[in-house]
Amino acid sequence: MKKEFEVISKIIKNKKRVLDVGCGDGTLMEYLKNSQQNDVRGLEPQKNLAQKCISKGLSVIEGDAEKDLIQFPKKSFDYVVLSQTLQAFLNPEKVLDQLLRIGKQTIVSVPNFGYWKVRLHLLFKGTMPVTKNLPNEWYNTPNLHMCTIKDFVNFCNKKKIKIDKSMCLTNEKISEITKKNMDYKNVFSELGIFLIE
């Protein structure tokens, strides 16, 4: 399992109710369910991926977060997880509002567009960055709203969203983001992981 999921699983701990939005093939859900006895549901727009979840015995709803989150009641999950998908929504702000409504706490991870490799790629090559975390070309990327770690933190502050934990990942290493090291982390991290409410 990738490091990001390890970090997320550690935050969630055991026996919680979890909704994984954009759960993909269910890798994280499977771990949360089988190794940590969480009660997990997934939401996944792609049929073939939803099918994979079913074959693993996971409860998945084929659906689109932008339309289907509305059906879940307020605070019906201990945690709602959104892994590297926020930037792909037509309206990330609305989706985030829904996540915060449904979950007592929400875990959001965002690929950092401020990562130095991304910056240099654009600066020197003059073309849209293609990296490990952003593998698509500009014409076929699902990512509509890229942001940096700093952008996301600013956004939370502006929206008065409480950030309980902010962490970042670089080369499979996890570290804390603080006010002091923000500018540094915004350059040297590939991924930001936030626990918000």
Question: Which residues of this chain interact with other proteins, rule CB under 8 A?
Answer: 17, 39, 41, 47, 50-51, 53-63, 71-73, 76
Strands 39-44 and 59-62: parallel
Reference 164, options 107, 124, 117; nearest CA is 107
Please state the closest distance from residue 50 (CB atom) to other proteins, in A: 6
Q: State the minimum distance, in angstroms, from the CB of residue 53 to other proteins.
A: 8
| Nearer residue to other proteins within complex by CB, 49 or 182 | 49
- Cβ contact 98:67 at 8 Å: no
Least distance CB 159 / other proteins (angstroms): 26
Nearer to other proteins, 43 or 147 (CB): 43
If the CB atoms of residues 51 and 181 are measured against other proteins, the closer one turns out to be 51
- In the complex, minimum distance from the CB of residue 65 to other proteins, in angstroms, rounded to a whole number: 13
Residue 167 — φ and ψ, nearest 5°? -130, 160
| Smallest distance, other proteins to C-beta of residue 85, A | 19
Looking at the Cβ atoms of 50 and 177, the one nearer to other proteins is 50
Phi, psi of 130 (to 5 degrees): -125, 115
Nearer to other proteins (CB atom), residue 58 or residue 161: 58
Strand segments, DSSP code E, in the chain are 17-21, 39-44, 59-62, 77-83, 103-111, 163-170, 173-176, 191-196
